Amino acid sequence: MADKATLPLLTAVPKTEGGSPWLTKLRRTAVENAERTGLPGVRTEAWKFTNLNALKALEPVAATGTAEIARLPAFADLQAVELHLSNGTLTHADAMPEGVDLVGLAEPDDAPDWVSETLGTVAETAPHPFTAINTGAFTGGIALRIRKGAAVETPILLLVDTRSLEGAGTVAAHPRILVVVEDGAMADLVEVHTGGGAYVNNAVTELVIGKDARLGHYKLQAESGEAFHIAMTAARCAANSTYDNFALSTGATLSRNEIRATLAGRHIEYRINGGYLACGDQHMDTATFIDHAEPDCASHELYKGVLADRAHGVFQGKILVRPDAQKTDGYQMNRALLLSREAEINSKPELEIYADDVKCSHGATVGELEDDQLFYLMARGIPEERARAILVSAYVDEAVDHIQREPIRDAFRAAAAEWMQKNIAGAPAEGGL
């Protein structure tokens, strides 16, 4: 039986007996995998640059109780149907648009077939101990299905909030999100993660994207400054689908945002862009993995990092092109801007290619603002501090601009601007650019 010694984050003894056979089996395998792997150390290549000692030292209890969740100002004007997950529990759900089914995952034993047949089939628990822990221990979350051919215009806004309530001490939540986009369906999902005080949010988002389907999936990680955010997004895309992913990280003391996608059919367009904005002593780790398993797919990735103060950024991006995946078009770029002498970046873009008829490239740059750009702005009369802020802001917006839906793009621009205003001297007001 799983215990705290092997898995310090496991806040509840998982139900690995009784219950529905599918869930029991899923949880049991997950716990076994988690115990076998243990929490990663710096010798684990995938976690080489992220020291988890502070997380391991925590003795969190299960997050209980719920609180009201308010939208962040940046998202105030976004027209959307809203879902709230407070401490892992579904506390609020607007009426879903036509063609969308919503199921809470508090009692997954009774979940319908489309949930039991897909949950845990995309987010692998080996060798991903945090995903395994989530799979073993999740007590709540949501499952969404976009029915075949449904074109959902209004974005679905999922607010995930974690905080210690009623003096519970440090808490841990393991929210689980499953989205099934059936063949030919279209939808946009926006995840916003917030919270208060010290806690662990160990989230798993699992996505199944059907043939000819389109999913826009946008995530803002704006956790409290004392929080640990460990998240796995795992997607499986079918032929002719489009997956537009964007993730912006601004919060948490330590965060790890891992995004894995398997392109399991032909002619898939996968866009994976994002940014990480860190200051103070924040540690932000972004890990992306793109599995080109079939021919004729395209992936485009641009990540931009801004690191101020003593912040430490980590970017690991891997593109795998399997032997059959001919005509793959893969592009990956990570740019990091260091704004202070104490900031640090580790960047590891990686290509692993087994097919010959491919076009794959990646790049990485690290540096400070370009002197000639700064001079150009100043030569037009703009003071240095302001000039720097304009350039940083424009730098981040270049990644944000890849978001395909305009209202959502505006919201993320505002979120980035909000961070800029708080943390970069001379930053222009939101909408100023």
Which runs of E-coded beta strand occur in 212-268?
Answer: 214-221, 228-237, 242-249, 254-263
169: left (phi over 0), alpha (psi -120 to 50) or beta: left
CB of 391 to other proteins, least distance (A): 7
CB of 321 to other proteins, least distance (A): 8
How far is the C-alpha of 381 from the C-alpha of 341, rounded, in Å? 27
Pair type for strands 89-93 and 186-196: unpaired
3-class DSSP assignment, residue 35: helix
Which residue in 13, 112, 383, 425 binds other proteins (CB under 8 A)?
383
How far is the C-alpha of 372 from the C-alpha of 378, rounded, in Å? 10
CB of 346 to other proteins, least distance (A): 5
> Is the Cβ of residue 32 or residue 344 nearer to other proteins in the bound state?
344
Interface region with other proteins, contact rule CB under 8 A, candidates 100-108, 226-234, 293-301, 370-378: 370-378
How far is the C-alpha of 136 from the C-alpha of 399, rounded, in Å? 35
Tokens of 202: 């160990």
**DSSP structural state of residue 53:** H
Which residue in 130, 199, 270, 395 binds other proteins (CB under 8 A)?
395
CB of 42 to other proteins, least distance (A): 14
3-class DSSP assignment, residue 235: strand
**Binding of other proteins at residue 366 (CB under 8 A)?**
yes
Which residue in 287, 387, 403, 414 binds other proteins (CB under 8 A)?
387
Which residue in 135, 245, 347, 423 binds other proteins (CB under 8 A)?
347
Footprint of other proteins on 40-69 (CB under 8 A): 45
Q: Are 227 and 164 in contact (CB under 8 A)?
A: no
CB of 363 to other proteins, least distance (A): 5
* Residue type present at position 306: V
Of 245, 63, 30, 244, residue with least CA distance to 160:
63
> Is the Cβ of residue 165 or residue 391 nearer to other proteins in the bound state?
391
Interface region with other proteins, contact rule CB under 8 A, candidates 5-13, 28-36, 215-223, 377-385: 377-385
> Is the Cβ of residue 59 or residue 352 nearer to other proteins in the bound state?
352
**Binding of other proteins at residue 211 (CB under 8 A)?**
no
> Is the Cβ of residue 80 or residue 284 nearer to other proteins in the bound state?
284
Which residue in 348, 402, 405, 409 binds other proteins (CB under 8 A)?
348
Q: For every residue of 261-327, which 3-state class applies, written as one string?
A: EEECCCCCEEEEEEEEEECCCCEEEEEEEEEECCCCCEEEEEEEEEECCCCEEEEEEEEEECCCCCC
Angstrom distances, CA of residue 419 to CA of 148, 222, 273, 313, 337: 39, 10, 18, 16, 15
> Is the Cβ of residue 214 or residue 413 nearer to other proteins in the bound state?
413
Q: Scanning the structure block, which residue is given the tokens 């806004």?
A: 157
Interface region with other proteins, contact rule CB under 8 A, candidates 11-19, 74-82, 110-118, 372-380: 372-380
**Binding of other proteins at residue 376 (CB under 8 A)?**
yes
> Is the Cβ of residue 326 or residue 421 nearer to other proteins in the bound state?
326
How far is the C-alpha of 129 from the C-alpha of 200, rounded, in Å? 15
CB of 254 to other proteins, least distance (A): 18
**Binding of other proteins at residue 338 (CB under 8 A)?**
yes
Footprint of other proteins on 301-330 (CB under 8 A): 323, 326
**Binding of other proteins at residue 419 (CB under 8 A)?**
no
Interface region with other proteins, contact rule CB under 8 A, candidates 121-129, 142-150, 280-288, 351-359: 351-359
Interface region with other proteins, contact rule CB under 8 A, candidates 82-90, 139-147, 156-164, 397-405: 397-405
How far is the C-alpha of 191 from the C-alpha of 78, rounded, in Å? 13
Of 70, 72, 422, 428, residue with least CA distance to 277:
422
Q: Are 276 and 313 in contact (CB under 8 A)?
A: yes
**Binding of other proteins at residue 77 (CB under 8 A)?**
no
Binding-site size for other proteins (CB under 8 A) equals 62
> Is the Cβ of residue 57 or residue 379 nearer to other proteins in the bound state?
379
CB of 370 to other proteins, least distance (A): 8
CB of 364 to other proteins, least distance (A): 4
3-class DSSP assignment, residue 171: strand
The set of residues, in sequence order, having a beta carbon less than 8 Å from that of 374 and lying 6+ positions away, is 384, 387, 388, 391
Give backbone dihedrals phi and psi of 78, rounded to 5 degrees, phi first. Answer: -75, 120
**Binding of other proteins at residue 124 (CB under 8 A)?**
no
Binding site for other proteins (CB under 8 A): 45, 323, 326, 336, 338-341, 343-368, 370-373, 375-384, 386-387, 390-391, 393-398, 401, 428, 432-433
